[in-house]
Amino acid sequence: MRKRPDQVKKIGDQGYGERVPAGQYVTQKFPVLSYGSTPKIDLKTWTLRVFGLVGRPLELSWEQFIGLGWTTITSDFHCVTQWSALDQTWEGIPFAAVIGPAMPKPEAKFIMAHCFGGYTTNIPLDVAMNEGFFAHKQNGQEMGKDHGWPLRLLIPSRYAWKSAKWVNGIELMPQDAPGFWEQRGYNNNADPWKEERFWPELNR
């Protein structure tokens, strides 16, 4: 049976060239991939905590959070299951604008993103400060509940499992520690341009 173009797993076929990392195919869809079910979240009781190695721990209500200043970014989204969605626009607040006021201590080098439902993922603090983005809208619409509403911490330069849906806590840590998938064989660094999909020995 012939495969539909969006099922073809060779990027060269699609003419996107170097726009897309090796082993990825471009899809117009944006599939849902979650471990566990979509949590029920109420903005009235929602908070975002910033804790760990900070001078000033924060617990922001939704009203406080959205007051930090909205912007829009455009980025590509690469899932380790080999689909890529290009030119996604996201509205929300840069990670640095939220974390800066918490005054990270110099010893803080990594973060753990915590989510409703217990999912976690770890990211170097400098990466999150440079490109992390708390997204509330995607392509002009409120983010779908399955995709992380009301807030997803995007890390565009990494595979999608580093982009935590339903994020509700940022922990600043002195040392790295593996998150949910990182404990289960996914690569710690997760750079799609290096095809860092799984543990090095599983990548081969």
**Residues in touch with ligand MTE (CB under 6 A):** 30-35, 79, 115, 117, 119, 147, 160-161, 163-166, 181
Stretch that binds Mo ion, among 41-49, 68-76, 153-161, 196-204 (CB under 5 A): 153-161
Nearer to ligand MTE, 53 or 152 (CB): 152
Nearer to ligand MTE, 108 or 114 (CB): 114
State the number of binding residues for Mo ion (CB under 5 A): 2
**Backbone phi and psi for residue 64, each to the nearest 5 degrees, phi listed first:** -65, -40
Q: In the Cβ-directed half-sphere of 140, how many Cα atoms lie within 13 Å?
A: 1
Distance CA 195, CA 159 (A): 9
Q: Give the amino acid at 175.
A: Q
Look-up of token digits 């708390």 = 134
Distance CA 125, CA 12 (A): 34
Distance CA 142, CA 22 (A): 31
Nearer to ligand MTE, 62 or 149 (CB): 149
Single residue of 33, 67, 70, 118 touching Mo ion by CB under 5 A: 33
Which entry of Mo ion, ligand MTE, none binds 147, CB below 5 to 8 A by partner kind? ligand MTE
Structure tokens at 56: 């000033």
Which entry of Mo ion, ligand MTE, none binds 164, CB below 5 to 8 A by partner kind? ligand MTE
Nearer to ligand MTE, 163 or 172 (CB): 163
Nearer to Mo ion, 90 or 161 (CB): 161
Closest contact distance (angstroms) between CB of 139 and ligand MTE is 12
Residue 32 found at the interface with Mo ion (CB under 5 A)? no
Closest contact distance (angstroms) between CB of 81 and Mo ion is 6
User: Which ranges in 86-197 belong to alpha helices (H)?
Assistant: 95-99, 125-131
Nearer to ligand MTE, 98 or 167 (CB): 167
Which entry of Mo ion, ligand MTE, none binds 165, CB below 5 to 8 A by partner kind? ligand MTE
Distance CA 173, CA 164 (A): 17
CA 58 from centre of chain? 21
Helices and strands (DSSP H and E) totals, the chain: 4, 11
Q: Does residue 182 contact residue 126 with C-beta atoms inside 8 Å?
A: no
By the criterion CB under 5 A, which residues form the site for Mo ion?
A: 33, 161
